[in-house]
Amino acid sequence: MGLPVLSAIFRSRVVCERGIVALLNCPKHTKARVSLFSHSAGRCAQTCQALIYRKHGDPSGVVELEDVPVHQTGAKEVLVKLLASPINPSDINMIQGTYSILPDLPAVGGNEGVAQVLEVGSQVKSLKAGDWVIPRDAGLGTWRTEAVLAEDDVISVPNDIPLLSAATLGVNPCTAIRMLSDFEDLKPGDSVIQNAANSGVGQAVIQIAAARGINTINVIRDRPDFTQLSDRLKAIGASHVIKEESLRRPEMKELFKTCSKPKLALNGVGGKSATELLRHLQVGGSMVTYGGMSKQPVTVPVSALIFKDVKVRGFWVTQWKKDHSHGKAMLDELCSLIQQGKLTAPACTEVRIQDYKKALDAAMQPFSSRKQILIM
């Protein structure tokens, strides 16, 4: 194919709005890392598809699938093809404008996913074409088909692990393993209690705990398919699965005849559910809050503080990664569990990026126990 023909093809895909110069997906008050719009001399910008929101609000009303430019790969950059990206609660909260960090607008949605390297810049040392990579941190905008990213903004993962495991590796499993490792010295035979046990974090907690010989008491809301969900959680390693209402009933005493009182409680709900978790902690145990799906405050009884000396902590994986050089050793441990078959992706529904409205709607439904994965 001659150069005139190639030039014509490139020109046909150029976005000519020179007034739009920086569609950035990096949180406010942090250094800008990724620009989707570039006007570098010597090569016209090719386009990719991206899910963009230009204002905050209901995702179904503000997110649109658009063509955006992909600029020339720089010396310390890589061109990647996004393969799969989940829709997480934090992604929804960012679009709604309620999350603690927000990207500048307009922005590309998505903070997690897996991509394949297509091209590397002349000074890139750690990556090569064909490698699989995931974002080191939030803010890259993963709901798009291609991107040019800085080498330092991604981290390689094995390309022999399942696609959905790689796509969902960077947030929920990292949160789970850190909470199981950093707050109490848990030994085989110890117990952990958690609410939101069917969430992505909850399912990762079950599996990592099981691999370490730790019992899990898993609390979920009552629902029509409770038995099926309970069976599914037990199949991945849950020791006990109970309804929220059971936390306040005498049957808990029976449970603790065969299972030690938990040293650690993991709270992703808040409100009354969190208070009930506290009631069952060992003396001196810890409750770690990582989410608040009920949007209700955590209430700590005075008696729990005085007579049980419980510790009430919080955890945010984004901050942990910033404080610990993004956790390569942690990712290696998680990938090893995946390769051994001890850690699988949560129940997922794969949706083409073109059908994003269906995926967003499903992700916001109550009692959903399946993660929506955008396939690019």
* pLDDT for residue 369 is more than 60: yes
pTM, rounded to two decimals: 0.85
What CATH number is given for 183-314 in this structure? 3.40.50.720
- Looking at mean pLDDT, say which of 43-52, 245-254, 330-339 comes out highest: 330-339
What's the full length of the chain, in residues? Answer: 376
Rounded CA gap, 29 and 278, in Å? 36
Pick the CATH number of 47-170+345-375 from 3.90.180.10, 2.60.40.740, 3.20.20.140, 3.30.930.10: 3.90.180.10
Taking 3-state DSSP, the helix, strand and coil percentages for the chain, each rounded to the nearest 5, stand at 30, 25, 45
**What pLDDT is stored for residue 20 in this prediction?**
35
More confident residue, 182 or 137: 182
What is d(CA 178, CA 197) in angstroms, rounded to the nearest whole number? 16
Best CA proximity match to 181, nearest among 155, 205, 217 = 205
What are the sequence ranges of the domains in the chain? 47-170+345-375, 183-314
53 is catalytic: no
| pLDDT given for residue 30 in this prediction | 40
User: For 53-93, how does the pLDDT look when each residue is reduced to its tens digit (9 = 90+)?
Assistant: 999 999 999 999 999 999 999 999 999 999 999 999 899 99
Predicted local confidence at residue 12, as pLDDT: 35
Catalytic residue among 53, 99, 290, 356: 99
Q: Which stretches of 60-211 are assigned E, i.e. beta strand?
A: 63-70, 77-86, 107-108, 114-120, 132-135, 146-150, 154-157, 191-194
Quick: pLDDT tens for 167-208.
Answer: 999 999 999 999 999 999 999 999 999 999 999 999 999 999
